[in-house]
Homo-oligomer: A and B are copies of this chain.
Amino acid sequence: MITKINVYFCRVNSLAEENYLKAMFSLSNDKGEVNVNDLSKRLEIKMPTVTSMMKRLATKKLVHYESYKPLKLTDKGKKEAALIIRKHRLTEMFLVEKMGFGWEQVHEIAEQIEHIQSPELFAKMDELLGFPKLDPHGSPIPDKNGTMVWVAYNKLSECKAGDTVKLSAVINTSAEFLKFLNSRELSLGLKVKIKSVEPFDNTMVVSYGKRLSETLSHTVCERLLVEKV
């Protein structure tokens, strides 16, 4: 009688499971809680499916699940989610810095490559990039232990007329928004001076580079993170 023994202790998660973990991580509020409904909307997956996946992830010790209570990632779940985000952001950085893609082109590709199982591949990207701390959209890249250091930026929309700030990150990373920023020559690292703020609709008139008077809607200013200089 031969008994087959599974020697692969570190069973990896499926693509679907990884996408749930990542979505939970990024939707978590300060309490680390997520609602079934929010997850359902984010993933475009119906609520009953989310519930059943949460039960599965709970048996894998990745999620704390109790009926009708908000969902929480366990420490293990948080770490695994952060490591997927690490792969996502390293990939985006690699695509931009080493392959010449625009920052508006890389998210969709990274959404797939983040699921590749190859520590060597991502270690090599990291090395070739010189161990970057931020991705092309200014978001922090978690380290190998899944630790993510958040820098406390301000929204441009919360700054006042007369302030001079440095563009440091974007909140929305949709291709449309990034293409809009490209069209205005707005990129990370840029110094921007706020000339005036329209009190009625919070539209801002700003100057930067060769552009001495550009008007940015509140919607845009809310999605730009800056540092005071």
Contact = CB atoms under 8 A, between A and B. Distances in A.
Chain A interface SS verdict (over half) = helix
A109 interface: yes
A98 B128 CA distance: 10
Interface stretch (A110-118, A149-157, A192-200): A110-118
Nearest to A118: B109
A13 to B, nearest CB: 15
Interface in A66-120: 95, 98-101, 105, 108-109, 112-113, 116-118, 120
A116 B118 contact: no
A112 B108 contact: no
Nearest to A98: B98
B117 A105 contact: no
A124 B95 CA distance: 10
Interface of A: 95, 98-101, 105, 108-109, 112-113, 116-118, 120-121, 124-125, 128
Closest 10 CB pairs of A and B: A109-B118, A112-B116, A99-B124, A109-B121, A113-B116, A99-B128, A105-B120, A112-B117, A100-B124, A101-B124
